[in-house]
Structure 1
Amino acid sequence: MQLMQTVGGVDLAYYVLCKRKLWLYKKGIGMEEESDRVMQGKVLHETSYTRLEKKEILIDGAFKIDALDGEYVREVKISSKMMESDKMQMLFYLYQLALRGIDKKGLISYTKEKKTVEIVLTNEKQQEVKQAIAGVYQVIDELSPPKVVKVPYCKSCAYFGFCYAREVDEDDA
């Protein structure tokens, strides 16, 4: 009997971003440790929200939010290039908090663009989160990873080398 894996905010972000990345990540194939972009994100997290006392908060051992600031859950991101996946990650956090009787709004700060986006969990957005959670479980239950789907941000992904290792240059063919 296989135990059901826990799903977190990063999983929902990956679900929106790239289902193959999600599958690889959930199977323990971690490529993030060598990624410069992931390292930049870690440094950004460590240096953000210095005035706030409630940072890197683990909720019920299930998921971690960057910071609580009054009525807001705050997340910091390098850029808004992956805004849709960032929004889904925040909606997941707001949904999980709502399930625990905590009503918050979200703020995602994009440091490069110096902009902040407010996220509100509506009934419609709650349904989207529930559907995405179900979708995550479908992806990770697959026996093999989803096929590569080339998107503009593939080259900056930590899994790029893994996904494209078997491609042959036209000059080599």
Structure 2
Amino acid sequence: METYPKTHLLIRGTEINYLFICPTKLWYFSKGITMEQESEYVDLGKFLHEQSYFGEEKNIKIGPISIDFIKRGDIIEVHEVKKGKSMEKAHEMQALYYIYYLKKLGIRARAILNYPKLRETKEITLEGREKEVEDSIREIERIKSLPVPPKPVKTKKCKKCAYYELCWV
């Protein structure tokens, strides 16, 4: 198995998520340009997170990652709360990264994606997917090292994006 520099343990879950949503957004975010505080969609997501899963300890921070909530048992259950499935690949990869990160710390874990509005959950395991996570880490590091943001690609997601004005106005 290839060894990786310790910088791969400095990747934030949001960066993994943004890689699969928009590399341009990832670049801006990685440079400290955050627009989410202005977004009504982000506010809606935060509200949903706060109003769901009462009794759970929320926003668990471990190094650079921030997990929505954890359930302890023989295997740690990492839970991520999401509004809907339109960006399910990004959600899945973020959850995979969390359990990959924990594995590097010697902690066995699995992840559960929670979609409270849909009343659905999806279990995520790392088995057979470590290379996919490691490839994503390498791509994030490549994008973050660029001197300028990658050229944006206009999609349906752009209209709801907090970074819309940076890319398209």
Regarding TM over 0.5, the answer is yes
Partner of 1:111: 116
Partner of 2:60: 57
| Secondary structure class of the residue paired with 2:10 | coil
| Secondary structure class of the residue paired with 1:65 | strand
Q: What TM-score, normalized to structure 1?
A: 0.87
Return the alpha-carbon distance in structure 2 between the equivalents of residues 57 and 4 of structure 1.
19
Q: How far 1:56 sits from its partner (Å)?
A: 1.1
Return the alpha-carbon distance in structure 1 between the equivalents of residues 116 and 15 of structure 2.
22
Partner of 1:171: none
Partner of 1:170: none
Partner of 2:83: 78
Q: Which amino acid aligns with 2:36?
A: E
Gaps of 5+ in 1: 166-173
Q: How far 1:147 sits from its partner (Å)?
A: 0.5
Partner of 1:67: 69
Return the alpha-carbon distance in structure 2 between the equivalents of residues 93 and 5 of structure 1.
10
User: How far does the alpha carbon of each residue in 1:8-67 deviate from its partner, in whole angstroms, 9 at most, with x for none?
Assistant: 111001011110000011111111110001111112222222122x321111x3211111
| Secondary structure class of the residue paired with 1:144 | coil
Q: How far 1:5 sits from its partner (Å)?
A: 9.6
Q: Which amino acid aligns with 2:121?
A: T
| Secondary structure class of the residue paired with 2:117 | coil
Q: Which amino acid aligns with 1:83?
A: E
Partner of 1:159: 163
Q: What TM-score, normalized to structure 2?
A: 0.89
The percentage of counterpart residues that share the same residue type is: 38
Partner of 1:15: 19
Partner of 1:139: 143
**Range 140-149 or range 36-45, more displaced:** 36-45
Shift in CA distance, 36/163, structure 1 to aligned 2, threshold 3 Å: same
Return the alpha-carbon distance in structure 2 between the equivalents of residues 161 and 112 of structure 1.
29
